[in-house]
Amino acid sequence: MSDKLIETRGSAGVMRLTLNRPKALNALNSGLLAELDAVLAELEGRRDLRAVLITGAGEKSFVAGADITEMRDKTPEQARQFASQALATFKRLERLPVPVVALVNGFCLGGGCELALACDWAIASDNAVFGQPEVGLGVIPGFGGTQRLPRRVGPAMALDLITTGRKIDANEALRIGLVNRVVPQGELESVAEELTRQLAGNGPDAVRSAKQAVHDGMDQDLDSALALETSLFALGFAGDEQSEGMSAFLEKRKPNF
Ligand code: CAA
């Protein structure tokens, strides 16, 4: 690993971002957030981008939260600025036009859990630990947890986790819908590679439209959201991708997107 706080590598348009402060269990400080923001700003403009995977450096932690050392002496105004910085970066991540998948390789606490929630979905290794322990530090979640967690797992379970601050293991996270899959820690790499192949093999415009339909539709009433789906479905017939995908099926060959 280099001394960069965000490591990037990619193949076939799938970018892998690694948060790289392993000595502090990849805790989010303002320097790391600024670097992440700059990387995301670059990715926004890339037409060849198919998906983004995000993980933490080392074998112990995805992200153990916002950096407590940096936060301890903040004034309310400085705390507001810190939270606003993180929220803007997480929004940028969430709004990338391609799927963003969290590969949760260990502790996923506080701001780390909030980062995973800003991703479209998550795969956890079996040693992962999740929680919103902020109330034990005398504060509430400030990087989106009080809003994105209830939207992901429902308000009762979100309030259970946020008010008790209890930690849950990967299987409980799977059961409540916080993550989509749990895999043995040693298999996270091979699962990531397989996922990269799957994501890169599908029609790129279709995948972008699918993300747009789900995200934008969630903020609308059902009739408007279904109308949005119809528009995006029809738009899919305007380019080459649909004719290649359907022709490949009928000609019993793999599509060449
Ligand atoms: N901020 C700053 N440093 C952190 C950190 C954090 N969130 N989490 C861990 N570290 C540092 C530790 O201070 C320690 O540093 P030193 O080696 O210099 O002492 C190093 O990472 C390793 O941590 P531990 O020795 O504590 O490792 P452990 O295996 O004994 O425990 C842990 C692991 C259970 C994750 C424990 O580190 C822990 O509880 N961390 C804090 C978790 C937390 O409360 N997160 C929420 C933060 S608040 C927040 O995120 C607010 C928000 O919503 C915006």
Q: Where are the domains of the chain?
A: 6-200, 203-250
* DSSP letter (8 states) at residue 59: S
CA atoms of 6 and 2, how far apart (whole Å): 9
Eight-class DSSP state of 26: T
Residue 247: both structure tokens together: 């022709």
Q: Is 114 a catalytic residue?
A: yes
Which residues is 63 bridged to in the sheet?
A: 108
- As given in the structure block, the two tokens for residue 80 are 């507001």
Long-range CB contacts (within 8 A, 24+) of 213-221: 215/94, 215/95
pLDDT of res. 1:
57
Q: How far is the CA of 121 from the centre of ligand 1 (A)?
A: 24
Residue nearest to atom 16 of ligand 1 (CA): 24
Write out the CATH class of domain 203-250: mainly alpha
CB count, 10 Å around CB of 10?
18
- Between the CA of 24 and the centroid of ligand 1 the distance, in Å, is 7
State the Cα–Cα distance between residues 70 and 85, nearest whole angstrom.
14
Query: Separation of 128 CA from ligand 1 center, angstroms?
Result: 15
Distance (angstroms) between ligand 1 centre and the Cα of 63 equals 9
Question: Taking every pair of C-alpha atoms in the chain, what is the biggest distance, in angstroms?
Answer: 65
Q: Give the separation between CA 107 and CA 21, rounded to whole angstroms.
A: 13
- Interface ipTM: 0.99
CA of 65 to the centre of ligand 1 (A): 7
Instruction: Give CA–CA dist 229/93, Å, rounded.
Output: 22
Query: Among the options 44, 59, 134, 244, which is catalytic?
Result: 134
Give, as one character, the DSSP assignment of residue 251: T
Q: Would you call 241 a catalytic residue per the annotation?
A: no
**Three-class SS of residue 49?**
coil
Contact criterion met (CB below 8 Å) for 241 and 206: yes
CB 26 less than 6 A from any atom of ligand 1: no
| Closest ligand 1 atom, residue 66 Cα | 50
Ligand 1 neighbour 142 (Cβ under 6 A)? yes
- List per-residue pLDDT tens for the chain, 257 residues long: 578 999 999 888 999 999 999 999 999 999 999 999 999 999 998 999 999 999 999 999 999 999 999 999 999 999 999 999 999 999 999 999 999 999 999 999 999 999 999 999 999 999 999 999 999 999 999 999 999 999 999 999 999 999 999 999 999 999 999 999 999 999 999 999 999 889 888 999 999 999 999 999 999 999 999 999 999 999 999 989 999 999 999 999 999 99
Question: What integer pLDDT is reported at residue 222 of this predicted model?
Answer: 98
Nearest CA owner, ligand 1 atom 10: 24
At residue 100, the pLDDT reads 97
- The class that CATH gives domain 6-200 is alpha beta
Ligand 1 atom nearest to CA at 68: 1
Q: How far apart are CA 245 and CA 257, in angstroms?
A: 8
Q: For residue 2, which phi and psi values (nearest 5 degrees)?
A: -85, -175
Q: Is the CB of 111 under 6 A from ligand 1?
A: yes
Residue 57 φ/ψ, nearest 5 degrees = -75, 145
Determine if ligand 1 sits within 6 Å of the CB of residue 109.
yes
Q: Rounded to whole angstroms, how far apart are CA atoms 41 and 94?
A: 12
